[in-house]
Amino acid sequence: MLLAVMISVVGLYPFSLKALEKQDSEAICILIQSEMQDWHPTTPRYQELKARFDERCQQPVANGVKSTVKQPATPTTVRQDTPKQKPNIIPTVVTPKSTPAHSTISPISSVLEPLSILLVIPIFILVSAITTLLFRPTLRQYRSERLGLQGEKRVASLLKQELKDEDFRLYRNLILPMDEITEGTPALTEVDLVLLTHFGVFVIEVKNYSGWIFGGEKQAQWTQKIFTKQTRFKNPLHQNYKHCLAVAHCLGLVERLHSVVVFSDEASFKTPLPKNVVNESGLLSFIAQYKGQISETSHNLAFTRAAERLDIAQQQSDSDAKSLHLMQFKHRRVEPTITS
């Protein structure tokens, strides 16, 4: 009996092996099924895959054991000419985050770090103080020049606006020679504003100062006070007297030449206001008092001649002339003063 069973098993084994060989594995059937979805049912490739699937994947072999795989349904969206390219999916390598190791800070470092930060502040203050001390004269001069130019522009704009109906000429920052001779070169001076009209020539010195002003007509030094800070400066009347001499030398006349010093409206005189000194708001009234002098033909000719000379002086007041004047100014020449 046992021998008969063994013979039957051995006899049936070749037939079962042949049957298994005619069937694809389950993995191959899945690949065939996946590729079939990329082709249209009417294409030859799809028909070839369909025939193989029907023939060899009805009972696919999985690890030596037959399994049942359903026949794929007709794909809904397929390409008719070229197979659908599947995206290349590259697995992302995830690197685990490394946990930072606990750094050991010594007690000395923990103390020195805040101390170093505290030391930066006084060092910065010290450097700033030294820089300020070294460049204070330059900064003061720059600020003074900037304020002066602002005041001159403001006064010039005021005159142009109010005298637009008058026949006048206005000149700014004229570099004019004086009668004095310094080492073979005529001494130069810079005049802020010269207003030429038919009823007079006005030599204007602009002081764009604020605060309290103390000074008299004959005093050599005046004082500016802002809160507790006091600053002394030269008597602007004496300064403008030199300008008047230069304008008179340029025009060849002394008649109808008027000196006027104009302070900002932010400046307040705490001493009696000297003659020929006004605030900006009083400049037009100062000029208007001379309009009653009706000009004659000779005066008209004098106006034309003076305009021609001042035009030439304006053209010659270039950068070279200003540099020469600045060089002379640094020698601190003695200012002429008005005697009683």
Q: Check residue 231 and give its pLDDT.
A: 93
Q: Is the pTM of this model over 0.85?
A: no
Q: What is the structure's pLDDT at 297? A: 55
CA distance 157 to 280: 11
Angstrom distance (rounded) from CA 14 to CA 52 = 23
Sites in the chain below the pLDDT cut of 70: 1-24, 59-113, 115, 135-138, 140, 179-185, 293-299, 325, 328-340
In the sheet that 229-234 helps form, which strands lie side by side, from edge to edge?
A: 229-234, 221-226, 211-214, 267-269
Determine contact, residues 148/169, Cβ cutoff 8 Å.
Answer: no
Report the pLDDT value the prediction gives residue 63, as an integer from 0 to 100: 46
Q: Give the C-alpha separation, 152 to 209, whole Å.
A: 12
> What does the block give as tokens for 178?
């004086």
Judged on CB neighbours under 10 Å (0-12, 13-18, 19+), 269 is middle
Separation of alpha carbons 288 and 319, rounded Å? 34
Enter the tokens of residue 245.
Answer: 């001499």
Instruction: For residue 53, give the nearest of 64, 42, 37 by alpha carbon.
Output: 37
What sign has the CA pseudo-torsion 20, 26, 28, 32? positive
Which residue matches tokens 């008092």?
289
What are the CA-CA distances from residue 187 to residues 178, 242, 288 (Å)? 6, 11, 33
Compute the radius of gyration of the chain from its Cα atoms. Answer: 52
